[in-house]
Amino acid sequence: MSADFGGGTALQASGDELRSGGLWNRLRRGLGRTRKGLSGRIGAVLGNDQRIDEGVLEQLEETLIEADLGVETSLELVERLRSAVRSGSVARGDEVGLRQLLVDEVAVLLLDAPRAEWPPPPRITLMVGVNGSGKTTSAAKLAHASLARGERVLFAAADTFRAAAAEQLQVWGERLGVEVVRRPPGGDPAALVFDAVQAARARGVNHLIVDTAGRLHTRGQLMDELAKVHRVARRASAEAEGRSWRVSNLLVVDAGTGHNALVQAREFGAAAPLDAVFLAKIDGTAKGGMAVAIARDLRLPVAWLGVGEAVEDMVDFDPRSFAAALFG
């Protein structure tokens, strides 16, 4: 798995930039359900000035696992907390100190994981994922961000199995002022992607966003088709005279799927190399800790978080800000 998202400039805004205004508020709001669940359970564990002993640490371990931070990550965090308790750096019943220690340790773990980077234009982004993960809406958010940077964007409706999918992308295209390359239902998605690359080159586009068909990660034939789409996109982009296009596979995961997101990532990664993850619908679940599991356990960069329905509701994944919004 790639440790960057194309070899370009760093993707994330700094933690200070996130905390300075609207982005920080969106992140905190998006993680509201997850934070509320964690706060309630941590408060219950440490209630009544309870001494932080082995029993409390075991309960905290269960709490972190239930929040989908991942088993390995939860075990490592609790071991670090255990060391802090033994050294006396966390006092008895010190919930504030424990929370801050969790923020610091989660940030350290995430900073050790691969960081996503934004490839310089021209580039092709293949949006991949299971049915209902939020690929099309996430594609619109990505396009909105590119347009805000002054880039020229083109959509490719590569879900040729469902007419409704192309229609949804067309609606977003009209709202954003982005053209859509589409074909009648039933066509070859790889052929459509090839045509879209040629259209992007002819129209002077520097970001082609391909909305692929949703597919179950357990269906081998569909995963083989995704691999073909990836190969065709790379071959077509390599043929673009005088312009080096970077092809990136962006896995869109519904944060509400919890642990199953790890299974999806592994299976999609076996079909085509994944460059980064877009964790969608994080505002509608208490399982926002899944971002930690993906980054830490799979060593797969988390690039963006979808924190609402509007095209503006997308924030860069910043480890320190994420950890602070998760527990603080």
SS3 assignment for 17-47? HHHCCHHHHHHHHHCHHHHHHHHHHHHHHCC
Asked whether the beta carbons of 152 and 203 are under 8 A apart, the reply is: yes
Q: Tell me, what's the pLDDT at 306? A: 93
CB-based contacts of 282: which residues, under 8 Å, 6+ apart? Answer: 30, 31, 34, 255, 288, 291, 305, 306, 307
Instruction: Please give the DSSP secondary-structure letter assigned to residue 50.
Output: -
**Checking DSSP bridges between strand 314-316 and strand 302-306, what pairing results, if any?**
antiparallel
Give the Cα-Cα-Cα angle 125, 160, 311 (nearest 5 degrees).
Answer: 45
| Dihedral angle, C-alpha 217, 220, 226, 228, nearest 10 ° | 160
3-state secondary structure at position 227: helix
CB-based contacts of 295: which residues, under 8 Å, 6+ apart? Answer: 110, 113, 114, 301, 302, 317, 319
Q: Which amino acid is at 59?
A: Q
Asked whether the beta carbons of 229 and 254 are under 8 A apart, the reply is: no
Q: How far is 41 from 305, CA to CA, in rounded Å?
A: 24
For helices 71-87 and 290-297, what crossing angle results, to 10°?
A: 90
Q: Which of 305, 302, 245 is nearest to 4 (CA)?
A: 302
**Measured distance between the N- and C-terminal CA atoms of the chain, rounded to whole angstroms:** 31
Asked whether the beta carbons of 240 and 231 are under 8 A apart, the reply is: no
Asked whether the beta carbons of 150 and 174 are under 8 A apart, the reply is: no
Domains identified in the chain and CATH numbers: 117-274 (3.40.50.300)
Q: What is the mean pLDDT for each group of 10 consecutive residues in the chain (328 residues)?
A: 42 47 77 83 70 84 86 89 82 76 90 83 92 92 96 94 87 97 89 94 94 69 82 81 79 88 86 90 84 87 92 92 86
